[in-house]
A and B are shown apart, each in its own frame.
Chain A
């Protein structure tokens, strides 16, 4: 018989009950849920981390935390309806109870980025995983250089957090007149008078100090690949490029094997990974 370390029996596969304290309909298919722990301490997290959200009898999915790391008493998630579990999450009412496990995974490199210019690039539902990083930058604005948020959505009606985007235009700014928030849509509609086109087209005009710039990106993998190519053209070193990767996840603790990307378990080593860690894998088909 063997004697094994760690006498504490914790079950990382058992969720904790959290009550839905507030529901906000963001767009036609996106909902933000604010959750409160039913028992036990609030869930402290680092920007970029995610949880596993369980809906009674339906299933469990990985969702990034989209709230303010300084306000952990409300656990915030922003969810797009794409299938059975996300639909059930989006249909929850105030007072409902869900299961939460986590927080899991790596976080945005906000410590290493101190003193740097920060370029954040988000596509679609990629903005919520960046929002905790934005809050962090706002709380410590003087520790960073220029800050940019480049955000692409399908149509103007799909833009998430429009009020905050307007506010961030001023609060994230490094100098009067700067426009840190730059938004583009695939398809203009209504009275949209902003940019139309790919989010990657917003990179070339940025004023940055490339060798002292850190970039954070979340979105579909194609979008991230083209974003990396553009950022590399600007001379930002590879090791300063960070992505949040998505893979199928059943356990989030390295037991189920589904999230592997080459040598990485995306749930554990990611979701936030530096480009050199994943370059050899994400640039190949079907790895």
Chain B
């Protein structure tokens, strides 16, 4: 892993893709589908969103032509890598009934071997966040673990920020620092582009040996850094200083009602968020009643059933649900996992049908003087 910065032409990128395929990886990366850039299988470089960028605002997303040949000239789309490592639907086990006995089999299918191409810095952080959730506690999720251990990550730095991005505020980007096998920065020149990269792991170094590349010159390296630096200066802002304490002190803030009046409780924000991990389970039996399955599905804290206890939900109002979501992302996540649950990707802002912007909500709660975080005496009247 002694390799320094390198330069890769497009032909080298193609070789890299092919080398990963030869090694049995399912190569996944950005591609255009139904007016959005989503993550799907990459067969060839032409599958990349060449010449596209994504124009994002609160509640809106639009693909536009850049007028050049950039392959990675967009930011992030509605998909995140979590759909591969923490799949939206997963069978947990099969139960078989025979002769009055019951047998349980874990999902036996071998986990797919994924190569992610085009992982943004904020998404690397999102993977670190989910690592804490599924691998960092007293229990480990074997399904996540099997996928995670095998994944090969090619990060691609952002050289421009989207209008809903704020990775710099939460220190997750725009430059990929760790957690990749290879990291690239695309330098675009009209219809052409090349990549300046760095190696992040032994596996990355071994793969690089199999593709045409050369050492990057200092000027090339500096130019790439400058491009990433430009992205850092274009962003929205979230003040993270004392954020947890501020939010805990704001649980009764009037702003929650204001945002609740807009929020549709649709759960889009939780679906697109690369760190949201909540799930529910479903049990089914086959027609003969001999085999039952338990499946796990992504769930959302915005649904009525989420907090259901016999007799009713704990969080009935939209206010309570939005407050749970936001305070979890930005405050209680820190208590639970030792880091922020938000990586500043801006997806929840873009994909919220009414354009609710969490950075704006947090700022609004800063402005107003909040009461001391005074718990009510036990014995209060609510159930």
Write out, one digit per residue, whether chain A residues 56-76 have a CB within 8 A of any chain B CB (1) or not (0): 111110000000000000000
**Among listed A142-150, A165-173, A259-267, interface-contacting one:** A259-267
List 10 tightest A-B contacts by C-beta distance, closest first: A257-B278, A229-B379, A263-B335, A286-B320, A57-B285, A57-B292, A228-B378, A253-B139, A97-B102, A263-B332
* CA of A141 to CA of B140, assembled, Å: 39
Judge whether B139 and A254 touch: CB under 8 Å: yes
Q: Can you name the residue of chain A whose Cβ is closest to the Cβ of B90?
A: A13
12 CB contacts below 8 A, A to B, read: A1-B201, A13-B294, A14-B92, A14-B106, A54-B95, A56-B97, A60-B294, A260-B332, A279-B378, A283-B377, A283-B380, A284-B251
Which of B152, B324, B378 counts the most A-chain CB atoms under 10 A from its CB? B378
The 8 Å CB contact of A60, one of B150, B152, B281, is: B281
Contacts of B319 in A (CB 8 A): 286
* CA of A51 to CA of B36, assembled, Å: 44
Q: Say yes or no: A283-B279 contact (C-beta < 8 A), given A2-B148, A14-B92, A248-B307.
A: no
Q: Say yes or no: A285-B100 contact (C-beta < 8 A), given A228-B378, A254-B139.
A: no
Judge whether A59 and B310 touch: CB under 8 Å: no
Q: Say yes or no: A99-B102 contact (C-beta < 8 A), given A226-B379, A246-B309, A248-B306.
A: yes
CB distance from B183 to the nearest CB of A (A): 14
Q: In this assembly, does B24 line the interface, its C-beta being within 8 Å of a C-beta of chain A?
A: no
CB distance from A158 to the nearest CB of B (A): 16
A218-276 residues at the B interface, CB under 8 angstroms: 220-222, 225-226, 228-229, 232, 246-248, 250-251, 253-258, 260, 262-263, 265, 268, 275
Q: In this assembly, does B149 line the interface, its C-beta being within 8 Å of a C-beta of chain A?
A: yes
Q: In this assembly, does B254 line the interface, its C-beta being within 8 Å of a C-beta of chain A?
A: no
* CA of A254 to CA of B336, assembled, Å: 10
Q: In this assembly, does B110 line the interface, its C-beta being within 8 Å of a C-beta of chain A?
A: no
Q: In this assembly, does B221 line the interface, its C-beta being within 8 Å of a C-beta of chain A?
A: no
Given contacts A254-B139, A258-B280, A287-B314, 14 further A-B contacts (CB under 8 A): A2-B179, A9-B142, A12-B141, A57-B292, A97-B100, A97-B101, A99-B104, A221-B383, A253-B137, A254-B137, A258-B299, A260-B332, A283-B376, A283-B380
Q: Can you name the residue of chain B whose Cβ is closest to the Cβ of A225?
A: B378
CB distance from B138 to the nearest CB of A (A): 7
The 8 Å CB contact of A283, one of B105, B278, B310, B375, is: B375
Which of B292, B317, B320, B331 counts the most A-chain CB atoms under 10 A from its CB? B292
Contacts of A263 in B (CB 8 A): 331-332, 335-336
* CA of A284 to CA of B376, assembled, Å: 7
Contacts of A115 in B (CB 8 A): none
The 8 Å CB contact of A258, one of B102, B135, B306, is: B306
Q: Say yes or no: A248-B309 contact (C-beta < 8 A), given A1-B149, A283-B380.
A: yes
Contacts of B97 in A (CB 8 A): 56
Judge whether A60 and B378 touch: CB under 8 Å: no
Q: Which residues of B contact A (CB under 8 A)?
A: 92-93, 95, 97, 100-106, 133-135, 137-142, 145, 148-152, 179, 181, 201, 203, 248, 251-252, 277-281, 283-285, 289, 292, 294, 296, 299, 301, 306-310, 314-317, 319-320, 324, 328, 331-332, 335-336, 373, 375-380, 382-383
Judge whether B133 and A283 touch: CB under 8 Å: no
The 8 Å CB contact of B150, one of A1, A6, A54, A56, is: A1
Judge whether B134 and A255 touch: CB under 8 Å: yes
Q: In this assembly, does A136 line the interface, its C-beta being within 8 Å of a C-beta of chain B?
A: no
CB distance from A110 to the nearest CB of B (A): 21
* CA of A194 to CA of B104, assembled, Å: 48
The 8 Å CB contact of A57, one of B103, B284, B331, is: B284
Judge whether B251 and A4 touch: CB under 8 Å: no
* CA of A248 to CA of B309, assembled, Å: 6
Decide if the interface of chain B is mainly helix, strand, loop or mixed.
mixed
Q: In this assembly, does A152 line the interface, its C-beta being within 8 Å of a C-beta of chain B?
A: no
Judge whether A256 and B280 touch: CB under 8 Å: yes
Q: In this assembly, does A16 line the interface, its C-beta being within 8 Å of a C-beta of chain B?
A: yes
CB distance from A101 to the nearest CB of B (A): 10
Contacts of B378 in A (CB 8 A): 225-226, 228-229, 232, 275, 279, 282-283
Q: Can you name the residue of chain A whose Cβ is closest to the Cβ of B137?
A: A254
CB distance from B299 to the nearest CB of A (A): 7
Judge whether A257 and B301 touch: CB under 8 Å: yes
Which of A15, A95, A263 counts the most B-chain CB atoms under 10 A from its CB? A263
The 8 Å CB contact of B279, one of A4, A60, A250, A280, is: A250
Q: In this assembly, does A11 line the interface, its C-beta being within 8 Å of a C-beta of chain B?
A: yes
Contacts of A120 in B (CB 8 A): none
* CA of A257 to CA of B141, assembled, Å: 14
Q: In this assembly, does A211 line the interface, its C-beta being within 8 Å of a C-beta of chain B?
A: no
Contacts of A265 in B (CB 8 A): 336
Judge whether A1 and B102 touch: CB under 8 Å: no
Judge whether A6 and B140 touch: CB under 8 Å: yes
Q: In this assembly, does A38 line the interface, its C-beta being within 8 Å of a C-beta of chain B?
A: yes
Contacts of A255 in B (CB 8 A): 133-134, 139, 141, 277, 279
Q: Say yes or no: A13-B93 contact (C-beta < 8 A), given A228-B378, A260-B332, A265-B336.
A: yes
* CA of A152 to CA of B299, assembled, Å: 37
Q: Can you name the residue of chain B whose Cβ is closest to the Cβ of A13?
A: B92
Contacts of A37 in B (CB 8 A): none
Judge whether A17 and B377 touch: CB under 8 Å: no
CB distance from A93 to the nearest CB of B (A): 11
